[in-house]
A = this chain, B = another copy of it.
Amino acid sequence: MKKEDCTTNEGPGLSCSAMLNAIADTQYVIGGKWTLRVIIALSDQPRRFNELQKLIEGISARVLSNELKDLELNGFIHRKIDAKAKPVIVEYELAAYSHSLSEVVKSMVHWGLNHREKIKQRMV
């Protein structure tokens, strides 16, 4: 075993720094305060800008705008423009790639619930 290899067996054959970089990437992409909220708000149907802002309580237009740009850059959503309509209609819809997050989201939800339970019991 190389010095760099992690003894935790999360990444068989993966160096620690490679693992840490991958984790940092994930945190960078979905670690923002609103990122996953926007994705979830789009999970059942495409939505328009102001619709999203009403749906996601507390988000400002500036932040929502930035989130949507980043999400599009990362391939999570598509921006659909209907230029024929007047005024122009812009809709955001989830791309297939957003489903690749399901495992990450699931494990985070699971761990978060367990952790809260654990904390509660320690309080008793």
Residue numbers of A with Cβ under 8 A of B are 6-8, 10-11, 14, 16, 18-27, 29, 31, 36-37, 40, 43-44, 74-75, 97, 100-116, 118, 122
Whether B112 pairs with A7 at a CB distance below 8 angstroms is no
Chain multiplicity (copies):
2
CA distance A104 to B113 in the complex (A): 13
Dominant secondary structure of chain A at its interface with chain B: helix
Q: Which of B22, B36, B113 is close to A109, meaning CB atoms less than 8 Å apart?
A: B22
- Closest B residue to A99 using CB positions: B8
**Whole-angstrom distance between the alpha carbons of A5 and B101 in the complex?**
18
A112's partner among B22, B105, B122 (CB-CB below 8 A) is: B22
Shortest beta-carbon distance, A69 to chain B, in Å?
16
In whole angstroms, how far apart are the Cα atoms of A30 and B52 in the complex?
A: 28
A122 to B101, CA, bound (A): 19
Q: Across the interface, do B8 and A36 meet the contact criterion of CB distance under 8 Å?
A: no
Task: Determine whether the beta carbon of A105 is less than 8 Å from that of B23.
Answer: yes
